[in-house]
Amino acid sequence: MKIILMVVTFTVVIAAGAVGYMVFFDSGKETSRDNMNLSDSIDEGIKDRVSVLLIGADQRPEQKKFSTDTIILASVDPKTKRTSLLSIPRDTRVLLKGHGYKKINEIVSLTDLDTLEKTVEELTGEKIAGYVQTNFQGFKKIIDTLGGITVNVEKDMYYETGDDEDGYINLRKGEQVLNGSKALQYARFRHDALADISRTARQQVVLKAVAKEMFQLSTIPKLPFLVPQVMDAVNTSLSSKDILTLAKVAVGFDSSNMVAQTLPGSFLDLEGISYWKVDPLEVKQVVKNLFQGKTTEKIIGQEPVDLLKPVIPTPTKPLPQVPGNSQDPNGRKSPGYQME
């Protein structure tokens, strides 16, 4: 039973760790939800789909409030053995009770993680079992212990982040094995035409690469080294019972049966603040299709676009507007703005 718990903890946290690239304060804390159990008995497993919110948060040790730069709804289906990932852009405009319309990445700084979870539930129409928040350094250690992940970097990437540690993003185009530091650089990069929208696609690439590596037989001997790192890297509302229940379906999954989608929308400028505007009805249809294994390339303003293909503007087809790119009219003035 302990081995199963270790394996599923590793499974869930690795997924979150691939996108959780900032340090959180109270690492390793686990909060049990008495009213939220995935099953009445750990021996029954689960019969229906279960969704978990994966969060990458910009939280420094001295901070009580923080922004959530990465929000991914991860869903596992025991019937189809499919894992679905829905990336929600950080600038998505949502209605927050008592605060009016806000960017979704501001919710935790104004309220808490539970409110963010409830907001995502309302947005997607999907019940969420709990959240998993991971830390920055833990992610790198886990990737290094795995021996790295194989990623096809779509273009040269360079940016000076200004951080005391991991101060540079410097990657070359091509397929390569990325260590923890390099994998973090790839998952963080957003300084191109599609800004955070293309970053969501890169985070999905990392998630898939981690899942593929995780299910290799060669990973099994590494578990004794990985488990302590995993436990130090997780802040979750899932109980041990919930995690153990997820184990019963996770161990039978194929890493290749994973589909990912960035939430479609369009650029919206309101009073000098840029948002990612989404249609509530379309969101729920996108989620429904994703759970059936269907994705769409119509991400930006209903126009087909490859988020990982370098965008080259032409006189007849200028750069698409997304929050945070060179055409963003407000840039640093936008609430919740951050360089990374």
DSSP per-residue string spanning 260-289: EEEPPBEEEEETTEEEEE--HHHHHHHHHH
pLDDT of residue 165: 80
pLDDT of residue 103: 93
Residue written as token pair 């919206």: 268
148-170: b (≥16 Cβ within 10 Å) or e = bbebebbeebebebeeeebeebe
Phi and psi at residue 213, in whole multiples of 5°?
-70, -35
pLDDT of residue 81: 86
Rounded Cα gap, residues 84 and 91, in angstroms: 21
Contact 300, 266 (CB under 8 A): yes
Instruction: Locate 166 and state its tokens.
Output: 């991991």
Contact 274, 334 (CB under 8 A): yes
- Using H for helix, E for strand and C for coil, what is the string for 128-162? CCEEEEECHHHHHHHHHHHCCEEEEECCCEEEECC
pLDDT of residue 24: 30
pLDDT of residue 141: 82
**Mode of pairing for the β-strands spanning 157-160 and 168-171:** antiparallel
pLDDT of residue 61: 58
* pLDDT tens, residue order, the chain (340 aa): 444 444 455 555 544 443 333 323 223 334 344 434 554 433 455 678 889 999 887 666 566 677 887 899 999 888 888 889 999 999 999 999 999 999 999 999 899 999 999 999 999 999 999 998 876 677 788 888 889 999 999 999 999 988 788 889 999 999 999 999 999 999 989 888 899 999 999 999 998 898 888 767 676 677 667 767 776 777 888 876 777 667 666 666 777 788 999 999 999 988 888 999 999 999 999 999 999 999 999 999 888 889 998 888 888 888 888 887 766 655 554 555 444 4
Of 292, 243, 3, 264, the residue nearest 130 (C-alpha): 243
Q: Identify each DSSP E strand in 167-277 by its residue range.
A: 168-171, 174-178, 234-236, 258-262, 266-270, 273-277
For the chain, the distance separating the N- and C-terminal CA atoms, rounded to the nearest angstrom, is 40
pLDDT of residue 315: 84
Dihedral of alpha carbons 191, 169, 137, 207, sign: positive
Name residues whose C-beta falls within 8 Å of residue 93's C-beta, 6 or more positions apart in sequence.
Answer: 101, 102, 103, 104, 268, 275, 276, 277, 278
Rounded Cα gap, residues 156 and 193, in angstroms: 14
Rounded Cα gap, residues 175 and 186, in angstroms: 12
pLDDT of residue 11: 56
pLDDT of residue 250: 63
Rounded Cα gap, residues 205 and 199, in angstroms: 10
Q: Kindly report the number of other CB atoms within 10 A of residue 207's CB atom.
A: 27
